[in-house]
């Protein structure tokens, strides 16, 4: 399916507004409410809300790096997000699932970048998932959206090419 540039731009914009809007609101609530009351656990103990200001990348990776290295990483991520946006806007032959997956990854990255720039290098994290003795690190809604987008992308890639893509490839190979 070929998506027009206008449809791609509207889709990217909707994904960004929904992702960044929800992410920024939940981060604000975490900073105000959890900052005041500490942590909270939902009944059953599956999800814990606890405030963490993360100077590193996903799940705190790189938090112990010097500030200059973290700043350089932020610049690199910014360029990567710019390239991903250009790819989304300029590539009409992406599968819808792949397009949505990449748009989710981009929007989650942008929302965390907004946080990092506005909060002087920090990203607000506030959720931990616990299953018995296992638990995640502290993360936020944008991180969840990025992981969901990655899983969608992997599933899309494992599904193989569209029937039309296979047919076009066979035609091109034969003459």
Catalytic center residues: 125, 143
Contact by Cβ (8 Å): 45, 130: yes
* Dist CA 133 CA 79 (whole Å): 38
Annotate 26-59 with DSSP letters as a single string: HHHHIIIIIHHH--EE-TTSSEEEEEEEE-SSGG
* Dist CA 102 CA 7 (whole Å): 15
């Amino acid at each position: 399916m070929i998506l027009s540039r206008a449809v791609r731009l509207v889709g990217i914009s909707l994904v960004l507004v929904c992702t960044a809007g929800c992410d920024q609101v939940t981060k604000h609530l975490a900073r105000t409410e959890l900052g005041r009351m500490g942590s909270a656990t939902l009944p059953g103990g599956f999800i814990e809300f606890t405030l963490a200001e993360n100077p590193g990348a996903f799940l705190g990776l790189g938090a112990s790096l010097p500030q200059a290295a973290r700043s350089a990483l932020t610049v690199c991520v910014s360029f990567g997000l710019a390239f991903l946006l250009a790819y989304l806007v300029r590539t009409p032959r992406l599968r819808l699932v792949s397009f949505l997956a990449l748009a989710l990854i981009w929007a989650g990255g942008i929302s965390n970048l907004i946080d990092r720039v506005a909060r002087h290098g920090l990203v607000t994290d506030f959720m931990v998932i616990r299953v018995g003795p296992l638990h995640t690190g502290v993360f936020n809604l944008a991180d969840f959206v990025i992981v969901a987008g990655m899983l969608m992308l992997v599933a899309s890639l494992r599904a193989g090419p569209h029937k039309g893509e296979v047919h076009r490839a066979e035609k091109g190979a034969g003459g």
